[in-house]
Amino acid sequence: MTSPRPSHCSCPCSCAGPGSGTGARTGPAPRARRVELDPDTVERDLARLVLTVIELLRQLMERQALRRVEVGDLTEEQEERLGLTLMLLEDRMGVLRDRFGLEPDDLNIDLGPLGKLL
């Protein structure tokens, strides 16, 4: 009889595996299930995630701005300021991508069955 998984454990480890009896972990989880953390790439990976979120928001803001321009919701001065701001943001994104060695496609995360994010 197999013991139920301890309430504090939600991982796919062997703590409640067949024959464990006590519910105690019998050894390390299989290598394929471990999270691989590489100290050399943590900063780049974090930057990639943050820049992906910023790029998604930038694209949404750009689409919203285009809609407002098409509807005639903005004054000429507001359109000019909005255009300059979006260009500046796009330029800064390029600088940050370069700093972390990322290409624009690196920010397009694959969401599996949903497809690419951007």
pLDDT tens string 4-52: 544 554 555 545 444 444 445 555 544 444 556 788 888 888 899 999 9
Region 94-114 average pLDDT: 89
Of 115, 101, 112, the C-alpha closest to 51 is 101
What's the pLDDT score for residue 71? 95
d(CA 4, CA 102): 45
Name the residue with higher pLDDT: 21 or 105. 105
What's the pLDDT score for residue 116? 83
